[in-house]
Amino acid sequence: MSQVVTRIAPSPTGYMHIGTARTALFNWLYARGRGGKFLLRIEDTDRERSTPEATDAILRGMEWLGLDYDGEAVSQFERADRHAEVAHHLLSEGKAYKCFSTQAEIQEFRDAARAEGRSTLFQSPWRDADPNTHPDAPYVVRIKSPETGVTVIQDQVQGDVTIKNDQLDDMVLLRSDGTPVYMLAVVVDDYDMGITHVIRGDDHLNNAARQMMIYNAMGWALPVYAHLPLILGEDGKKLSKRHGATSVEDYQTMGYPAAGMRNYLARLGWSHGDDEFFTDEQSKEWFDFCGINKSAARFDFKKLQNLSGQHIAAADDAALLQEILAYREKSDMAHLADEVAAGLGRALYCVKDRAKTFGELLDKARFILVQRPLEIEEKAQNQLNSVSHSILETLTPQLHNVSWSREALEALVNQVAEAHEVGFGKVAGPLRAALAGQSVTPSVIDMMLVLGRDESVARLNDAKAQCHD
Ligand code: GLU
């Protein structure tokens, strides 16, 4: 088979919906897993609803999700002349015709059909009219749809979907002002872009039958169709804002890593055995139409969080740091000075294991983000009493000489605990308070290793001064 070429063709009429992201991902996986191409087309033919801001949101969403596309994004609107050219070609071939019926006449036809209990699909009297009888009046161009037989959409997800041709009217291709309709634009663009597989939401399934009519009239080979079931909210109703965020950008500001999002969206309506957590390499290799569910998928926030946490834990530290810094910027958090960002990078190994989002990770990494003198939370403050004072008094001088390694620091803290006849935990409390100003933190040894000798000693000295009776 020739090279696979897929596309995502969003309409830029608002934010980027999570359903669009999933469709984009499925197209990306299908193409990338087969050495194919994945293209982006902005369907901006509806001039009233399309905005440049919405296009930007799509481009940003694709970039964040790491769904790289080949070449430049194509603007559908800019190709309007080409769409019209195809309609004129069909006209010259006798596969389309000029229809001069007015809106009033069409309405009259429908009313009469309804009254007589016939199909209200408009049948134009101009379909087979002799061009010599054409008036000098505005007209639309309609395609001659087959009058009998059936159209079978061989859908890779839904199976064969059969539509009776007498249920398809002679669709308008060009409006009376000469502008092409959306349905024509999609087919011409898909053909010109060499799209081999059309993977999209099943709200377009009915369009496929009409679009096939244009392919057939032009003698073009049909693409393979795969129509994806909807995404529902947890309550089984169509996913909407009521269920929580529906915009891709919202998930970015909620602090989910792109890899976790890709993993979750891939699982939303597609499965590979019992696999839940997987890498891009795996999903590219595994993704196929046979794994797509026929029924609608339900959005499950718990599962998203779970996968997100696993991807944060599995991430490479350098890449993770960059992603967290981008998240901070996106969420309007303060810019981190270079040395603080470097500290955060050093801290990742001990904070990334149990964070479901970047926000949670940053909470755990607070000890490296704060500056002396630390603000000490009330609960941590309670740890700083006279016993703590004596523990810090014994420990601090020894920190100057100890070798700054996990083993040596552990041995030292244990030794101080023994000298005070208390357990490790009793020492850890005041150390947490001193090193982080908090009572829930990564392990004290990890914090000391990340903070380094000078900063650790300075924080312990600060805390010593704050101990109360
Ligand atoms: N522009 C359509 C949409 O945003 C997609 C059309 C298609 O994929 O064929 O729903």
The CATH number assigned to the domain holding 405 equals 1.10.10.350
Cα distance between residue 419 and residue 192, in whole Å: 80
Q: From the alpha carbon of 211, which atom of ligand 1 is closest?
A: 9
Shared domain check, 284 and 254: yes
* Over residues 313-328, mean pLDDT: 98
Best mutation site among 75, 181, 204, 228 for ligand 1 pocket (most ligand atoms within 8 Å of CB): 204
Q: Is any ligand 1 atom within 6 A of the Cβ of residue 43?
A: yes
Shared domain check, 172 and 136: yes
Q: Is 394 a member of any domain? A: yes
Arithmetic mean of pLDDT over the chain: 96
Nearest to 48 by CA among 11, 96, 85: 11
Phi first, then psi, for residue 35 (nearest 5°) are 65, 25
Q: Is 196 a member of any domain? A: no
What does the pLDDT read at residue 86?
A: 98
Total domains in the fold of the chain = 4
Q: Is 164 a member of any domain? A: yes
Angle at 289 between CA 286 and CA 293, to 5 degrees: 105
What does the pLDDT read at residue 243?
A: 87
**Banded pLDDT at 240 (limits 50, 70, 90):** confident
Shared domain check, 167 and 108: yes
Note down the domain range covering 332: 316-365
Q: Is 215 a member of any domain? A: no
Phi-psi region of 403 (alpha: psi -120 to 50; beta: other; left: phi over 0): beta
CB 76 within 8 A of CB 189: yes
Q: From the alpha carbon of 200, which atom of ligand 1 is closest?
A: 8
Q: Is 373 a member of any domain? A: no
The strand pair at 224-228 and 197-201 is best described as parallel
| Distance from residue 62's CA to the centre of ligand 1 (Å) | 16
Shared domain check, 411 and 388: yes
pLDDT in tens, 90-117: 999 999 999 999 999 999 999 999 999 9
* Catalytic residue chosen out of the listed positions 164, 241, 294, 379: 241
What does the pLDDT read at residue 330?
A: 96
Please determine, for residue 130, whether its predicted confidence score (pLDDT) is greater than 80.
Answer: yes
Please determine, for residue 1, whether its predicted confidence score (pLDDT) is greater than 70.
Answer: no
Shared domain check, 176 and 106: yes
Q: Is 401 a member of any domain? A: yes
Phi-psi region of 452 (alpha: psi -120 to 50; beta: other; left: phi over 0): left
Shared domain check, 453 and 391: yes
Shared domain check, 287 and 240: yes
Best mutation site among 76, 186, 228 for ligand 1 pocket (most ligand atoms within 8 Å of CB): 186
Supply the residue whose CA is at minimum distance from atom 3 of ligand 1: 10
**Sequence-ordered list of residues with C-beta below 8 angstroms from that of 429, at least 6 positions apart, any chain:** 383, 388, 439
* Over residues 19-45, mean pLDDT: 98
- The CATH number that applies at residue 172 is 3.90.800.10
Shared domain check, 452 and 383: yes
Shared domain check, 149 and 84: yes
What does the pLDDT read at residue 468?
A: 83
Best mutation site among 182, 200, 203, 224 for ligand 1 pocket (most ligand atoms within 8 Å of CB): 200
Q: Is any ligand 1 atom within 6 A of the Cβ of residue 23?
A: no
pLDDT in tens, 325-352: 999 999 999 999 999 999 999 999 999 9
Nearest to 254 by CA among 241, 243, 245, 266: 245
Q: Is any ligand 1 atom within 6 A of the Cβ of residue 10?
A: yes
- The CATH number that applies at residue 42 is 3.40.50.620
**Banded pLDDT at 241 (limits 50, 70, 90):** confident
Q: Is any ligand 1 atom within 6 A of the Cβ of residue 190?
A: no
Percent of the chain clearing pLDDT 70 (strictly above): 100
What does the pLDDT read at residue 469?
A: 75
Q: Is 327 a member of any domain? A: yes
Number of H helices, E strands in the chain: 20, 12
Q: Is 207 a member of any domain? A: no
* pTM reported for the whole predicted model: 0.94
Shared domain check, 94 and 58: no
Shared domain check, 404 and 357: no
Shared domain check, 321 and 261: no
* Over residues 262-271, mean pLDDT: 97
* Over residues 147-164, mean pLDDT: 97
To the query of whether residue 241 is one of the catalytic residues in this protein, the response is yes
pLDDT in tens, 380-423: 999 999 999 999 999 999 999 999 999 999 999 999 999 999 99
